[in-house]
Amino acid sequence: MNAPLEQTSRLDVTGMDCGSCVAKIETALTRQPGVRRVQVSMAEGVVEIGHDDGVDPQALGRLLSGLGYRTKVVSPPMAAPSCGCGGCHAPAPASVPDRTPPWWRDKLGLLALCGVLLAVGQAALWLVPGTPEAVILPALAVGGLPVLRRAVNAARLGSPFSMEMLMSVAVAGALVVGAWDEAAMVVFLFGLGEALEGLAARKARAGIMALAQLLPKQVLRRQGDAWVETAATEVRVGDFLLLRPGDRLAVDGVVEDGEAGMDEAAVSGESRAVRRQPGDPVPAGAIALDGVLTIRATSDAADNTVTRIARLVERAQAAKSPFARFIDRFARWYTPAVVGAAALVMVLPPLVAGQDWGVWFYRGLALLLIGCPCALVISTPAALAASLAAGARRGILFKGGDVVERLAKVDLVGFDKTGTLTEGRPLVVRMAALSDDGRPWEAVAAGLCQGSSHPLARAIADYLQAGDGGTQEVTRAHAVPGRGIGGDWHGVSVFLGVVPMDGVVAEWQAQGKTVSVLTADQVPVLAFALEDGLRPDSKAAVARLRGLGLRLAILSGDHAAAARKVGDDLAMDVQAPLLPEAKMAAIRQWQQDGLVVAKVGDGINDAPALAAADVGIAMGGGSEIALETADCGLLGNRLGDVAAAVEAARRTMRVIRQNVFMALGLKGFFLVTTVVGLTGLWPAVLADTGATVLVTLNALRLLKLGHAQGGQAPSPSRP
Query: Both ends of the chain: CA-CA distance in Å?
Result: 51
Q: Which position among 247, 252, 328, 416 bears the catalytic label?
A: 416
Is there a contact between 245 and 316 (Cβ–Cβ < 8 Å)?
A: no
Question: Bridge-partner residues for 222, per DSSP?
Answer: 227
Secondary element (H or E) of residue 529: strand 523-531
Q: Is 1 exposed, middle or buried (0-12, 13-18, 19+ CB in 10 A)?
A: exposed
**Dihedral angle sign, alpha carbons of residues 52, 64, 337, 178:** negative
d(CA 53, CA 95): 17
Show Cβ contacts of residue 175 under 8 Å, excluding neighbours closer than 6 positions: 140, 183
Look at residue 21 and give its three-state secondary structure: helix
Question: Bridge-partner residues for 422, per DSSP?
Answer: 534
Is there a contact between 620 and 640 (Cβ–Cβ < 8 Å)?
A: no
Question: Bridge-partner residues for 475, per DSSP?
Answer: 488
What is the DSSP track for 53-105? Answer: TT--HHHHHHHHHTTT-EEEEE--SSPPPSSTTSS--PPPPPPPP-PPPPGGG
Secondary element (H or E) of residue 475: strand 475-480
Strands 551-555 and 412-415: parallel
Show Cβ contacts of residue 69 under 8 Å, excluding neighbours closer than 6 positions: 13, 14, 15, 16, 21, 25
Is there a contact between 607 and 619 (Cβ–Cβ < 8 Å)?
A: no
CA dihedral of 389, 64, 68, 328, whole degrees rounded to 10: -50
Show Cβ contacts of residue 165 under 8 Å, excluding neighbours closer than 6 positions: 151, 154, 155, 159
Query: Is residue 481 reached through a cis peptide bond, with omega within 30 degrees of 0 on the bond before it?
Result: no
Question: How many Cβ atoms are within 10 Å of 117's Cβ, its own excluded?
Answer: 21
Sheet with 475-480, edge to edge strand ranges = 427-433, 523-531, 514-520, 492-497, 484-489, 475-480
Strands 551-555 and 573-575: parallel
416 catalytic residue (yes or no): yes
**Dihedral angle sign, alpha carbons of residues 195, 200, 202, 203:** positive
CA angle 383–384–385, rounded 5-degree value: 95
Taken as a whole, the chain contains a residue count of 719
Query: 324-345 as b/e, with b when 16 or more CB fall inside 10 Å?
Result: beebbeebeebbeebbebbeeb
d(CA 127, CA 121): 10
Ramachandran angles phi, psi of 509, nearest 5°: -65, -40
Is there a contact between 591 and 597 (Cβ–Cβ < 8 Å)?
A: yes
Which one-letter DSSP state was computed for residue 248? B
- Catalytic residues, by residue number, are 416
